[in-house]
């Protein structure tokens, strides 16, 4: 089976069995997504991720048997890029959101997300696109930019963080799509990353957006 046709492999981490069953059942019924493991806490999740090699880990933050933050750090200590990590939680405080993203999460959604949004989030993360609930985006972009990037590069990066395509960015800013791509190349070079999701995550951690 080709890479393009391969199902997205997902591990679901939540301490509530009903929540795990609901998410797993939803993904099982969704073509193109395969649940390859479940865990009830962060400590268990790290071991399962190591064995199952998923594309995406979907996890809660606060669990009695190892927190989500600790699990994110442990997974990122092994590989800073893979798997993609999507936080799915009820907690929307500034501390929770910033803590998760600083630890290495690639996306942040709340548990009231619609099924279609959650399915799309999994595919977006695999494609290197950032995924953020509106409250998370508002929290993470409420920071003063640092001068490492030009004002235009920061403007482009903020739109990327909002999930805007290159074409839409070009239309919004009144520039060509090629110019948008050039700005992104410069952003990647300055931040030392290779894709959109990594650029957005590092920018959040560094206070650039």
Calpha distance 183→149 (Å, rounded)? 10
- Do 170 and 110 belong together in one domain? no
Quick one: CA dihedral 68, 71, 77, 78, positive or negative? negative
**Residue range 33-61: average pLDDT?**
93
Choice among 83-87, 123-127, 200-204 with the minimum mean pLDDT: 200-204
pLDDT for position 203: 73
For residue 57, the domain's CATH number is 3.40.50.2300
- Do 22 and 120 belong together in one domain? yes
pLDDT for position 49: 94
The pTM for the full model equals: 0.66
Question: Does 3 reside within a domain?
Answer: no
Question: Does 2 reside within a domain?
Answer: no
Tens digit of each residue's pLDDT (9 = 90 or more) over 115-140: 999 999 999 999 988 888 877 777 66
Tens digit of each residue's pLDDT (9 = 90 or more) over 59-70: 999 888 888 999
């Amino acid at each position: 089976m080709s890479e393009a046709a391969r199902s997205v492999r997902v591990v679901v981490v939540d301490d509530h069995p009903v929540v795990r069953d609901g998410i797993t059942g939803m993904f099982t019924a969704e073509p193109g997504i395969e649940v390859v493991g479940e865990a009830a806490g962060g400590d268990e999740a790290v071991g399962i991720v190591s064995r199952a090699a998923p594309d995406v880990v979907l996890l809660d933050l606060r669990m009695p048997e190892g927190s989500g933050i600790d699990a994110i750090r442990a997974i990122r200590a092994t590989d800073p890029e893979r798997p993609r990590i999507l936080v799915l939680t009820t907690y929307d405080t500034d501390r929770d959101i910033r803590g998760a993203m600083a630890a290495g999460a690639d996306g942040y959604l709340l548990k009231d997300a619609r099924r279609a949004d959650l399915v799309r989030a999994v595919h977006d993360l695999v494609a290197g696109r950032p995924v953020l609930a509106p409250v998370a985006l508002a929290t993470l972009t409420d920071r003063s930019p640092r001068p490492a990037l030009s004002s235009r590069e920061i403007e482009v990066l903020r739109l990327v963080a909002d999930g805007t395509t290159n074409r839409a960015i070009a239309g919004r800013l009144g520039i060509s799509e090629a110019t948008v791509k050039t700005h992104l190349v410069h952003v990647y070079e300055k931040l030392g990353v290779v894709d959109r999701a990594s650029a957005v995550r590092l920018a959040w951690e560094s206070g650039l957006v």
